[in-house]
Amino acid sequence: MQKELIKGNEAVVKGAILAGCSQYYGYPITPASEIAQAASRYLPPVGGTFIQAESEVAAINMVYGAASAGMRALTASSGPGISLKQEGLSYIAAAELPCVVVDVMRAGPGLGNIWPEQGDYHQVVWGGGHGNYKCVVLAPNCAQEMCDLTMLAFDLADKYRNPAIVLADGYVGQMMEPVVFPHKRVKVPRRDWALYGDAESKRNVISSIHMSTESLEKHNNKLQGKYAEMERSEVRFQEIKTEDADLVLVGYGIVSRLLQSVVEMLRAEGKRVGLLRPITLFPFCSKRLSELTTQGKHFLVVELSNGQMLKDVQLATKEATPIHFYNRMGGAVPSVDELANVARKYVK
């Protein structure tokens, strides 16, 4: 394994290449621009393709084409650009093609500013495009996970023939931390469903159109079965000291790093506090939240948004236990001391 001090955004690209990605199509936007820059630097020397598209709409449709040709393809953007990619994502999901999209969130709505926020949760997790589709969504909280979860995203995208999204906030994308990279690059096998422009694959049909109601309903039901299997098999989360906790802090991304420090601080004071960090935002750790609810635990949800993940926590717990909420928006990130003072209010 090779360790390198590197930005989270750059770790995405190195992880993608090691996962067998050979195609990047994108358009720069802060705070995700280093992803495009790194892709332009690292992909051509290993025989890959980098294209700065004329727009985000063009980029996601280039990804559609590359994925249909059996390539592992990547694109990245931030909130406004992800908005423009939503139609293409719906088409890709409907055509059952694997690809990876990275969203490094900035503050919104509108143009907002370049500081970190988590306001894209509903857009990405609940699906911002049209139709009844879902994407796998992974939420890293450090540069190492920007590499590792990008590699995992490609594997899950292939496993389910579905788009996977790496949802990070601006802090995680911009931080420089040590990252350990694998030595070997994954070799992507030939896909029996892809179009390679040869006689063997010429009968493969990739499309999202179904002209009859019966055909489209059948296709929708097939997709829903796939999403249900994701919920059974792909839930990932991290727990810290929840066993005896009276208050369980819930947060993802950079917030989870802050909350881990809060747990350490309040434990030193003798307060029974724990942390539940969702790593997959879809599928969500609803079952684990429900189990913690039956143990009589209270929750404090912290987000850099107006409470978008809070809705999923409320659904999981059926509001059978007190759920407290604290947030910041507009790119403002709370300090550890600030969050510790909030948590102290709710500890038994």
What does the radius of gyration of the chain's CA atoms come to, in whole angstroms? 20
Taking phi over 0 as left and psi of -120 to 50 as alpha, with beta for the rest, 110 belongs to left
* pLDDT for residue 1: 65
> How far is residue 51's CA from residue 54's CA, in Å, rounded to a whole number?
9
Long-range contacts formed by 263-269: CB under 8 A, 24+ apart:
265/336, 265/340, 266/340, 266/343, 266/344, 266/347, 267/241
Cα(247)–Cα(272) distance, integer angstroms: 7
DSSP string computed for 1-28? -EEEEEEHHHHHHHHHHHTT--EEEE--
Q: Which two tokens stand for residue 247?
A: 């208050």
pLDDT at 128: 86
Q: What is the DSSP letter of 147?
A: H
Name the H helices within 121-182: 121-125, 143-160, 170-174
Domains of the chain as residue ranges with CATH: 2-233 (3.40.50.970), 238-346 (3.40.50.920)
pLDDT of the chain, 348 residues: tens digit per residue:
679 999 999 999 999 999 999 999 999 999 999 999 999 999 999 999 999 999 999 999 999 999 999 999 999 999 999 999 999 999 999 999 999 999 999 999 999 999 999 999 999 999 889 999 999 999 999 999 999 999 999 999 999 999 999 999 999 999 999 999 998 999 999 999 999 999 999 999 999 999 999 999 999 999 999 999 999 999 999 999 999 999 999 999 999 999 999 999 999 999 999 999 999 999 999 999 999 999 999 999 999 999 999 999 999 999 788 999 999 999 999 999 999 999 999 997
User: Residue 326's beta-bridge partner residues?
Assistant: 302
**Nearest Cα residue to 10 out of 177, 258, 257, 188:** 177
| Residue reference for tokens 């500081």 | 115
How many residues does this entry show for the chain?
348
